[in-house]
Amino acid sequence: MTSPAPEVAIPAPPVDRAGLMGFLEALGIAGQTFTHPPVNTVEEALTHWAAIPGVHAKNLFLKDAGGQLWLVVVPFARRVDLKALPRQIGSKRLSFGRGTLLEEVLGVLPGSVTPLAMINDAEGRVKLVLDAWMMAQPRLAFHPLENTATVSLGNADFRRFLTHLGQSWQEVDLGGDPGPDSETPAP
């Protein structure tokens, strides 16, 4: 991995998979990309994740009663209590955001939600919440803006990606260790 040049420009939204991967490469981030058939749910993805190293995520695109948008990213095995979550993240009552809003703000379709889509939130409309246990793990696995692939990234590389975007995030303890099924070990 090479050190990123500080002058790496953030591409203008909407950024697609090729644009994202080019941006990661320009930052010196060498993730492993695995292609697979389209998956719209965690259940559909499970059979493909066995060979992909890292903690695999479940991504919740939410809107609170005040209109604030949230992207909550947790290990796929984590159960999220939507009634308790607002208190945990400093929000009001939460509901799922519409697919049209998701596409407008993060440039992805339902089934392709990923924290890597923060590259498309140029207006800073979405608050990012990352599970604290997940963020303590060495490798993370996310869709690269489409649900036909998964990219496995080092934790430090993912943090560098967000930092280069100027993206802040909250790391919140949403329940400790979600269990042994949450992570696929590196080969």
pLDDT of amino acid 42: 83
Q: Sign of dihedral through CA atoms 129, 132, 134, 137?
A: positive
- What tens digit of pLDDT does each residue of 9-39 get? 999 999 999 999 999 999 999 999 999 999 9
Question: Does residue 65 fall inside a structural domain?
Answer: yes
Question: Does residue 185 fall inside a structural domain?
Answer: no
pLDDT of amino acid 181: 58
- What tens digit of pLDDT does each residue of 151-185 get? 999 999 999 999 999 999 999 999 866 766 565 54
Question: Does residue 83 fall inside a structural domain?
Answer: yes
Within the chain, residue ranges assigned H as helices are 17-26, 42-49, 85-89, 99-106, 155-165
Question: Does residue 12 fall inside a structural domain?
Answer: no
pLDDT of amino acid 56: 94
- Determine how β-strand 149-154 pairs with β-strand 32-35: antiparallel
CB count, 10 Å around CB of 132?
Answer: 15
pLDDT of amino acid 50: 84
Band (44; pLDDT cuts 50, 70, 90):
confident
Q: What percent of the chain has pLDDT over 70?
A: 91
CATH number at residue 93: 3.90.960.10
pLDDT of amino acid 184: 54
* CA 154/CA 157 separation, integer angstroms: 5
Question: Does residue 167 fall inside a structural domain?
Answer: yes
| Cβ contacts of 21-29, under 8 Å, gap ≥ 24 | 21/144, 21/151, 23/119, 24/151, 24/157, 24/161, 27/157, 27/160, 27/161, 27/164, 28/1, 28/2, 28/3, 28/4, 29/1, 29/4, 29/153, 29/157, 29/160, 29/161
Span 79-93, average pLDDT: 94
Question: Does residue 7 fall inside a structural domain?
Answer: no
Number of domains in the chain: 1
Q: Is residue 187 pLDDT above 80, yes or no? A: no
Q: Is residue 78 pLDDT above 90, yes or no? A: yes
Q: Is residue 137 pLDDT above 80, yes or no? A: yes
Question: Does residue 56 fall inside a structural domain?
Answer: yes
Global pTM reads 0.91
Note down the domain range covering 85.
17-174
Which residues sit opposite 56 in a β-bridge?
A: 141
Question: Does residue 46 fall inside a structural domain?
Answer: yes
pLDDT of amino acid 22: 97
CB 148 within 8 A of CB 36: yes
